[in-house]
Structure 1
Amino acid sequence: MADLPEALALDRREGLPEALTVLLSEHPRAGWADDPGFAGLVQFWMERHAMFRELSGMLTAEARAAEAGRLDPARFAARLSRFGGLFVQELHGHHLIEDHQYFPVLTRLEPRLERGFALLDADHHALDPWLARLAERANAAIGAARADQGLGDAAGPLAEDLGAFAGLLERHLTDEEDLVVPVLLRHKGAGLG
C-alpha cells in the first residue's frame, strides 16, 4: 500500500483506526464463538491463527533454551527443522490465500473496508522478509547443532528475531481478526468456506 501512513505500518501501529473497526461494534469479540456463523470457516480460520501463535511461542522458547544450553542439540535441530518449516510454510500459504482469495471477496462485500484489507496485504509483505530471515537463522542454528559447535551462538540471534517477529505477528493477527471476523459473521461466511 504505497500511501500507507507511517503510523499504520505494522511495526508502528497499536491497532486499527476506528473507521476500520465499524463492524466490530456489531460483532464484538466476546460474542464470536456464540454466533451461529462462527462454526465452519471462521472457527477454522481462528484455529489457524491460534496455531501460528502457539508455534511462534514454542519456537521462541526452544531457541532461548538452546541458547542457554538447556536442550539437546540433536533434538533441538530436529524440532526446529520440523516446526520451523511448518511455521514458515503455513504462514506463507495462509497469506497467499488471504491476499488472492479472501480479501478480494471481503472487499466486494464491504467496500468501505477496502483500505483495511489493503493494510493487511501490506502487513503480509512486511512479514515476508522476516520469514526469510527466520529461515536463514533457523538453518544456521540447525547447522550448528548438527556440527555440535556454537549452538548457543546460532540460537541467540534466532531467539532474538523470533521474539521480535512474535510482536509483529500478534499485532497483525489481532488486527486481521478484528477486521475479517465481523465481515464473515455479518455475511454468513460469504461463501468462502
Structure 2
Amino acid sequence: MRDLSLDTRLGLPDALQVLLQEVPREAWDADPNFHGLVSFWLERHMMFRQLMAHMRAETEGFLTGARDPQDFARGIGRYGGVFVQQLHGHHHIEDHHYFPVLREKDARIEAGFDLLDADHHALDGILNRFVEQANGAIRGVGGADARTPAGALHAGLIELDRLIGRHLEDEEDLIVPVILKYGAAGLG
C-alpha cells in the first residue's frame, strides 16, 4: 500500500480523485455553487499561502541584510501569530463541522477525510516546531549570531511551505468537487 502520510505523499491517490475527474479545477469558478462557501474557503487557503510567502521573504531579507532586524522580529511575530492562530481555527472548523457533513455526501471519497484529519494532526507538531523556530529567531535578533536561528527558521519555513502546500492542494482537490457537485447544504 502506498504511503499517504503528509511528508511523503505527492498527491491524492486515484481512488480519491473520482470527483475531481468529474469536476476538474478548470471548471470550478464557472460552477454556480462556486461563489459563496467555496470561493471564501479558497480565499482562506490563499491567505495561508500568502502569509507563508511573506514570512519567507521577511526571513530572507533579514538573512541578506536587506531587512532591519527589529522590523524582521516584529513582522515574524505578527504574521507568524496570525498564521498559526488562523490555521488552527480553520482546521478546527473543518474537523468538527465541515468534514463530518462532507464525508456523508459521497462514500467513494470518505477515506479522504481520514487522510485530511491525519494531516491536521501532523501539522500540529509541525506548527509547534515553527513557533519554536520563529521565537528562536525573534530572540536571536540583536545577538552575536542572529543568523543561525533565522537560518533555522528559514529552513523550517521552506519545509512548512511544502507540507502546507501539499495539504491545501489535496484538501481543495477533495472538498471543492464535493461541494460543487452536491451543494453546501448543512455547511452554513
Asked if TM exceeds 0.5, the reply is yes
The answer as to 2:117 corresponding to 1:133 is: no
What one-letter code is carried by the residue in structure 1 that aligns with 2:187?
A: L
- Match 1:154 to one of 123, 129, 149: 149
SS in 1 for 2:158: helix
Distance 2:163 2:78 in 1: 22
SS in 1 for 2:148: helix
Aligned partner of 2:105 in structure 1 is 109
Aligned partner of 1:80 in structure 2 is 76
The answer as to 2:165 corresponding to 1:163 is: no
| Superimposed CA distance per residue, residues 126-151 of structure 1 (whole angstroms, 9 cap, x where no aligned partner) | 11111001111111111122x45432
What one-letter code is carried by the residue in structure 1 that aligns with 2:165?
A: E
Aligned positions of 1:116-127 closer than 5 A: 116-127=112-123
SS in 1 for 2:133: helix
Aligned partner of 2:35 in structure 1 is 39
For the Cα contact (< 8 Å) 2:61–2:67, is it kept in 1?
yes
For the Cα contact (< 8 Å) 1:15–1:175, is it kept in 2?
yes
What one-letter code is carried by the residue in structure 2 that aligns with 1:15?
A: G
The answer as to 2:153 corresponding to 1:174 is: no
Percent of pairs with identical residues: 53
What is the Cα deviation at residue 61 of structure 1?
1.8
SS in 2 for 1:11: coil
Distance 1:160 1:20 in 2: 31
Pick which of 73-82 and 148-157 moved more. 148-157
| Superimposed CA distance per residue, residues 33-87 of structure 1 (whole angstroms, 9 cap, x where no aligned partner) | 1111011100000000001111111111211221222210111111111101001
Aligned positions of 1:64-75 closer than 5 A: 64-75=60-71
Flag structure 2 segments of 5+ consecutive residues without an equivalent. Answer: none
Q: Give the TM-score normalised by structure 2.
A: 0.95
What one-letter code is carried by the residue in structure 2 that aligns with 1:42?
A: V
- Match 2:179 to one of 177, 184, 188: 184
SS in 2 for 1:9: coil
Distance 1:40 1:172 in 2: 22
Distance 1:148 1:7 in 2: 42
Distance 2:53 2:40 in 1: 20
